[in-house]
C-alpha cells in the first residue's frame, strides 16, 4: 500500500510540522502528521501530553506506550481512508515509531523515568506492532537542529503543554537523535540499508524563501537519486550541502 514512505525526524522544536507543510505544498507529497490530537485535550486531566511534561516519572510509560501505538493507528487509518488514492505518490510521516523507541522511550528509561519492567513490556509491544503493522520506510529525513535553537522555537510558539520543557531534556533528545541517525549506533537490521538525508535546520526557514528552496531541492534530489531508483537503497547518510 505504501510503495515509497519517508520519515521526517527531529527534536522538539526542530520545525517538523512547518517542514511537512512545505513538502505537501511545494513537492506535492502526501503527509501524515503526528496524531497529537489523540494525546491532547482541553481538559488537563485527560491531556496526556500535558500530564507527561507535568509529572514525567508518573506518566512516562503511559505516554510513550500510547505515542507509538497511536502512531501505528494513524498509519492504518490513513491506509483505510485512502484506498482509492494514488499509491504511487510519496508518503511522508512526521516522526516514526523508531524515533519513539530509540529516542524518547529509551531516554525515559535511561533517565530513570521508566522501570526495568516497564521498559521490557514497552519493547515487547513495540517489536510485535512494528513487525505486524508498520511499513518499512524507504528513507529518513533528519532535521538536525541544536538544542538551543529548539528551545528558542518552543518558547516562541508558546504551546501550553511544552512550557515546562527544560533545556536538559532537549539536549538529551538531541544526543539520542545523533546516536541513532548520525552515528547509527542502534539501527534495526531491516533499516540498515535505508538512506538518511540530514538537513541543517538551525537557520529559520518558515518565512525564508531561500532556505525553503534549498531544503525542497535537497529533498527532491534525495527522492530522485537515493529513494526511487532501487528497491534496496544504499544505506548512505547524506549531509545536504548548505
The catalytic residues are 94
Length of the chain: 242
Q: Which helix (H) or strand (E) holds 222?
A: helix 209-222
Which residue from 95, 86, 91 is spatially nearest to 35, judged by alpha carbons? 95
Half-sphere exposure in the Cβ direction for 135 (13 Å, CA): 19
Are 183 and 50 a contacting pair, CB within 8 Å? no
Task: Give me 218's grid cell.
Answer: 535537497
Do the strands 196-200 and 139-144 form a parallel or antiparallel pair, or are they unpaired? parallel
Q: To which residue does cell 529525513 refer?
A: 141
Residue the block writes with cell 541517525? 181
As given in the structure block, the three cell numbers for residue 94 are: 512526521
Task: Classify residue 89 as left (phi > 0), alpha (psi -120 to 50) or beta.
Answer: beta
**Per-residue DSSP letter, 241:** P
Please provide the DSSP assignment of 166-199 as one string: -HHHHHHHHHHHIIIIIS-TT--GGGTT--EEEE
Amino acid at each position: 500500500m505504501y510503495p515509497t514512505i519517508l520519515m521526517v525526524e527531529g527534536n522538539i522544536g526542530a520545525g517538523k510540522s512547518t517542514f511537512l507543510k512545505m513538502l505537501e505544498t511545494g513537492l506535492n507529497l502526501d503527509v501524515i502528521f503526528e496524531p497529537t490530537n489523540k494525546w491532547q485535550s482541553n481538559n488537563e486531566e485527560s491531556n496526556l501530553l500535558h500530564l507527561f511534561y507535568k509529572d514525567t516519572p508518573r506518566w512516562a510509560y503511559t505516554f510513550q506506550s500510547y505515542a507509538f501505538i497511536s502512531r501505528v493507528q494513524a498509519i492504518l487509518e490513513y491506509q483505510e481512508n485512502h484506498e482509492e488514492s494514488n499509491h504511487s505518490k510519496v508518503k511522508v510521516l512526521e516522526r516514526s515509531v523508531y524515533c519513539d523507541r530509540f529516542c524518547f522511550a529509551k531516554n525515559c528509561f535511561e533517565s530513570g523515568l521508566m522501570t526495568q519492567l516497564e521498559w521490557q513490556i514497552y519493547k515487547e509491544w513495540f517489536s510485535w506492532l512494528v513487525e505486524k503493522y508498520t511499513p518499512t520506510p524507504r528513507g529518513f529525513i533528519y532535521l538536525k537542529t541544536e538544542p538551543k535553537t529548539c528551545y528558542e522555537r518552543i518558547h516562541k510558539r508558546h504551546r501550553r503543554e511544552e512550557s515546562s520543557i527544560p533545556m536538559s531534556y532537549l539536549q538529551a533528545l538531541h544526543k539520542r537523535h545523533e546516536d541513532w541517525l548520525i552515528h547509527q549506533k542502534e539501527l534495526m537490521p531491516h533499516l540498515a540499508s535505508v538512506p538518511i538525508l540530514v538537513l541543517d535546520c538551525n537557520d529559520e526557514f518558515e518565512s525564508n524563501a531561500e532556505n525553503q528552496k534549498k531544503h525542497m531541492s535537497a529533498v527532491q534530489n534525495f527522492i530522485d537519486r537515493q529513494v526511487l531508483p532501487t528497491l534496496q537503497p544504499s544505506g548512505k547518510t547524506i549531509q545536504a550541502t548548505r
